[in-house]
Structure 1
């Protein structure tokens, strides 16, 4: 009897629009045993945020559904089973539990306040490469939180620490080139970075908003092209775009795990709102046994990284080869320690016996080096020529 009375109460507070939408302009509330399923769009212009129990689900096996209106609905439990995605035109909140069964939750990336909001540390379940928040999600609570966000049918989580959730944090993932973003009024030049960096990813970035200090953890997969940045994940860094400096800033590497194809990296403490977007970068020095290899070259005459520097070669018999991205040799030198001493080190100029366009300045970009030392394993990796 309780459920029958409850459903009758619904009919007093909504209208249907051509059988296409459920339009709430009154006061709806679910309780402990309630189970409400929407098979049409929901327009919420009334009150639907005082639910102290029950489950609200969105179901469509062949198309999409939309939640719109002037007011944010807040559900206790929520299920998404919409084959062609649940579209949010107004924010939707969950206070207890949310489940991804089929489809994504899509939010408008040009309106960051329209998001799927997890309140009171509400957990979620069922996320994968086909089921996640395609756009913005937020968290308000007291626990660590991993945003179930992604783009281009790829789940790419981002994690923050508990303190950052107490004042609401919001995030989204973008599988786009930071140099030409689609939903930001400015670009994020990956060739502009501080002296502690020598490269920044041009494949993807995250937006994290919040005003409380936290460490942030970013994830990568084989589409992140991490090998174009490093050959050792310990040299990865989290980097953030500083809009005042107009450059990428090194946010550190407190922990890192995985391999070049999949893994995650955690920054040092940072305040999200100080940085417009985040992505991967790499520092300007590799430790390779007893060698220190400075893999940034910026031949602008300022005395800082004007040539490719390798410390620790001593008097070894060695030979250095540098190749461009197409595998063409652009520099070759025996006894590289002598070249450095004589200021003949690789300075972004095509040189050597077998190089192309000898004497010409090489373009900004990624190059590959091979260092051969008699009696030792070859050393190889990426280096970067900057302006």
Structure 2
């Protein structure tokens, strides 16, 4: 790790170090070959700062900001900013970039303000604490995995080499696509095309590009893939088609991992044809004649407010148990079919009579249900509370 305050081989004209401790370029700045610059202050670029061939580091125990009217382009870049580096203007990397500490934030409502990897520039050091929180872009000739994430979770998306010929970009959003925070339209997960039976309500990606490619998406335990499929072969990449105003099936050409972590690759698509991408299922989760809706989002919006088991009325002698991940009973009800569409249904409020206080809101996360019903075999599986 390099911590530099000495500037060597730096050609400066019209540079101001302001009273607010910012490096403000109004003219021409170049870091020459073998030059090394460490910024411990904000950078404002209103001039030319895109012919650099040396090393640039950003260092702070607090936060730093890069802003201005013009995009700076650096050669080798190291980011060690404990409380994160904020980009208010796009920043380019021409050769190599390393994450040491902190995330790189870009404004999610301004997709052209991104961390730009140029000429197939690679990166190193990404993890759940170090990634691009917002948009990253690539221009090059190789396959590329975007180092993007949200909510202290690295969630890459990958494209193939042909898609990087023209600039492609991507961002990950850990939020319900029915209620996106940074898009003017919503993406109704109840509206999907043929060969689909359900759409994730937990997350989505915005992948942009005008070249045909396969897109690979990743999941972790917070993706709650078991709420969509029991068998990964039924999982699909899906995209929101703004012309049809529905989710469409984008295929499953390769898949690795298990229900907790893994990745899935789509058919060949043009990313710009779809506003956002996420996961869907090509098969209903069925138990005998029962359809189990395993996502519960008790926020009064009319989407999955209660835990529903469709077809349960056929087996009226039934009893439902819901447990948290530590095996503590949080809900129990006989004849659940009579209450599952009412306020007495399981809606993320504890009804446990022992260690979990009755009436308390249960935290977001994965829970387990057990269903006993006379006439069919016992059932058990995952369900997920999303608030």
Name the TM-score, length of structure 2 as normaliser. Answer: 0.76
Structure 1 residues 165 and 287, CA, compared in 2 at 3 Å: closer, same or farther? farther
Structure 1 residues 368 and 281, CA, compared in 2 at 3 Å: closer, same or farther? farther
Structure 1 residues 5 and 287, CA, compared in 2 at 3 Å: closer, same or farther? closer
Deviation digits for residues 343-381 of structure 1, max 9, x if unmatched? xxxxxxxxxx956339999x9x9x999999x9xx98977
**How far apart are residue 328 of structure 1 and its match?**
10
Specify the alignment match of 2:307 in structure 1: 325
The question of whether the paired residues in 2 share the 8 Å contact of 1:230 and 1:381 is answered with no
Distance of 2:97 and 2:240 partners within structure 1: 32
Distance of 2:311 and 2:164 partners within structure 1: 51
1:356 corresponds to 2:337 = yes
Secondary structure of the residue aligned to 1:356 is helix
Secondary structure of the residue aligned to 1:159 is strand
1:6 to 4, 9, 21: 9
1:50 corresponds to 2:51 = yes
**1:1-387 counterparts in 2 under 5 A?**
6-7=9-10, 9-10=11-12, 12-51=13-52, 53-61=53-61, 63-284=62-283, 325=307, 330-332=312-314, 356-357=337-338
Distance of 1:136 and 1:358 partners within structure 2: 44
Secondary structure of the residue aligned to 1:181 is coil
The question of whether the paired residues in 1 share the 8 Å contact of 2:7 and 2:37 is answered with no
Structure 1 residues 287 and 160, CA, compared in 2 at 3 Å: closer, same or farther? farther
The question of whether the paired residues in 1 share the 8 Å contact of 2:135 and 2:169 is answered with yes
Distance of 2:335 and 2:7 partners within structure 1: 85
Deviation digits for residues 17-71 of structure 1, max 9, x if unmatched? 10420001111112221110100000001111112x211111002x100000010
The question of whether the paired residues in 2 share the 8 Å contact of 1:284 and 1:296 is answered with no
Deviation digits for residues 267-312 of structure 1, max 9, x if unmatched? 0111100100000000036899xx9x99799xxxxxxxxxxxxxxx
Distance of 1:329 and 1:242 partners within structure 2: 31
Secondary structure of the residue aligned to 1:273 is helix
Instruction: Mark the structure with the bigger radius of gyration.
Output: 1
The question of whether the paired residues in 2 share the 8 Å contact of 1:170 and 1:208 is answered with yes
Structure 1 residues 239 and 327, CA, compared in 2 at 3 Å: closer, same or farther? closer
Specify the alignment match of 1:338 in structure 2: none
The question of whether the paired residues in 1 share the 8 Å contact of 2:292 and 2:309 is answered with no
The question of whether the paired residues in 2 share the 8 Å contact of 1:256 and 1:265 is answered with yes
Secondary structure of the residue aligned to 1:173 is strand
Name the TM-score, length of structure 1 as normaliser. Answer: 0.76
Q: Give unpaired runs (5+ residues) of structure 1.
A: 298-323, 334-352
**How far apart are residue 232 of structure 1 and its match?**
1.3
Structure 1 residues 142 and 370, CA, compared in 2 at 3 Å: closer, same or farther? farther
**How far apart are residue 234 of structure 1 and its match?**
1.4
Distance of 1:16 and 1:211 partners within structure 2: 41
